[in-house]
Amino acid sequence: MTKSINRRMAELVTATGEIDNSALANVTLLDSATVINIGNNTSSGTQVFDTLDSLPTSSLNAGQQAFVNENQRLYISNGTGWYNLTFVNRTPTWLTEPDASYEIADSATPLIVTAKAQDSDNSDLYLLNQSVGTDSAQYMVDVSNDSSVFTFTPKSADSIGIEVAAGNLTDSNGDFIYTFKWSDGVNFVTKAVTIAYNPAGGGGGVFNWGGDRGLSTFQGNNQIDYFDITTASDASDFGDFPYNLYYMSANISNGEKQLFTGGSGGGNVIFYVSSATLGNAADFGDMTRNNFGTANASNNTRGIIAGGGNPPNDVGQGWNGIEYVTIDPAAHAVNFGTLAQSREHGSGVSDGTYMGICGGQAPAGLNNIDRITIDTTGNATDFGDLTFARRYLGGHGISSKCTTAGGENSSGYGDYIEEFTLDTNQNATYYGDLTVARQSHGVTGNKDYGVAVGGITAGDAGGTTYDVIDRWSMSSSGNATDHGDLDFARRYGCAVSGNAA
């Protein structure tokens, strides 16, 4: 319904609520600014009162006028009582005023802002929404509103990256101005608000399925190592597994709890630890089958276990199955779907929404990347390719970027770090180099860094086993640097991260 303010007639209302327009012949409608000016002019005969109760009840004169601040209404007296002019066109005011600034947390979380104005009848029913954002807003968010509730749905990091490359975000420093404005057709209330959105999350992207403490385990010893990802440091003893395993997989975490799956000799077992408290691994549940060399990844609620080998049935050939577990509470794995390409000894990476299953063997080395949506079930699709085929690699992802590192290929044992994003089909590109070429190592990280731990330069033929921990930035391409050392040289292992406290 449209309210035509300029044409609406004023009405006189008696104390009992009845309409009495007999005295309107010589009444002129006033806006609030005029009323206040009249009130400030003592010679006009119009008086200003703070409350309705303060209107005088005796010694009244016909035609006497009064303005009440409490409800911003104008009254006229017939000499015995007061009659309210039911319509005074005053400037809209905020009923729920928005803050001066807001920040969008991440690409998956819309920002909701209430900006509610009121007109002279204490209602926003007839107010016109004239809110608008600066040019950069259209490239960073989608804006919708339901009455006075505004929803800013962030666009993906990849989408914003395309707009930056196209030169469309030259007026943005990671924020935009949104001006909330409501008008009654004559006057308006307005407020310019700064909304910040950095999809890189300060350190490259959002990451809530891990933390700043790295955990790893390898063949030859049932010890779990732990180390600080944020500051260069060596690893220490965290706790133990019940028995020694190799070709275990990890990379499943909700920040508080971390899962380790399978392993040669481990059957279908899933173990867990709580990263903030040193201690031994405990039983979590079972996979649907005996398995090792799986590609694992997670968001902060669900872990995915993909591919792998089941001795002696498909060793070297790879399995095409995908399983999933809910990280908390403990439970057995259940079927998710199938891979587009069977594989074992591949790598799993996550951006929180999608999982990429990278490389591996079946039995030759693979370069393809499969993709699934973590919070659904179904079959994987072919997403893109690594720069070259390889197996025994590792990977780490955040919301804006995924990286893979190392691995064995037909030419030897790689030191390549590659990158890609999972929200748009694409091939991986070169990112940098590890400090040493390696395979059968563990890879994990936090929101700022990826880390590669341990590993070996050759597999069945022997070779050098490493204790080195490498680290690379997740926000800009470049080579890894030496971060520290494990307790001792380790190979055929895995890694995961979680919160330190």
476 versus 419: the higher-pLDDT residue is 419
Residue 128, pLDDT > 60, answer yes
Distances (CA, A) of 206 to 292, 299, 346, 386: 30, 11, 24, 23
pLDDT digits (tens, 9 = 90+) for 370-425: 999 999 999 999 999 999 999 999 999 998 899 999 999 877 778 999 999 998 88
The three-state DSSP-derived secondary structure of 352-367 is CCEEEEECCECCCECC
Would you state the pLDDT for residue 310?
A: 79
DSSP assignment, residue 121? Answer: T
Return mean pLDDT, the chain. Answer: 84
Report the residue count for the chain: 501
Query: Any idea which of 127-131, 205-209, 227-231, 235-239 has the lowest mean pLDDT?
Result: 205-209
- Please state which CATH class domain 213-498 belongs to: mainly beta
For the segment 235-261, the average pLDDT, to the nearest whole number, is 92
Q: Domain extents for the chain?
A: 12-85, 93-196, 213-498
Backbone angles phi, psi at 298, to 5 degrees: -160, 165
Helix (H, G, I), strand (E, B) or coil at 238: strand
Q: Can you name the CATH fold of 93-196?
A: Immunoglobulin-like (2.60.40)
Helix (H, G, I), strand (E, B) or coil at 44: helix
Nearest-Å Rg of the Cα atoms of the chain is 33
pLDDT digits (tens, 9 = 90+) for 89-98: 567 889 899 9
The CATH number fitting domain 12-85, selected from 2.40.50.140, 3.40.1620.70, 1.10.10.10, 3.40.50.300: 3.40.1620.70
Number of neighbours of residue 192 by Cβ within 10 angstroms: 12
DSSP assignment, residue 156? Answer: P
**3-state DSSP helix/strand/coil % of the chain, to nearest 5:** 5, 45, 50
Nearest to 199 by CA among 289, 253, 139, 119: 139
pLDDT digits (tens, 9 = 90+) for 34-55: 544 444 444 446 889 988 888 8
Tell me which H or E stretch contains 161.
helix 157-165
Distances (CA, A) of 258 to 138, 282, 348, 499: 39, 11, 15, 10
User: Per the confidence metrics, is the pTM higher than 0.75?
Assistant: no
Residue 1, pLDDT > 70, answer no
Would you state the pLDDT for residue 73?
A: 79
Q: Read off the pLDDT band of 335 (50, 70, 90).
A: very high
Across the strands, what pairs with 370? 357, 382
Tell me which H or E stretch contains 127.
none
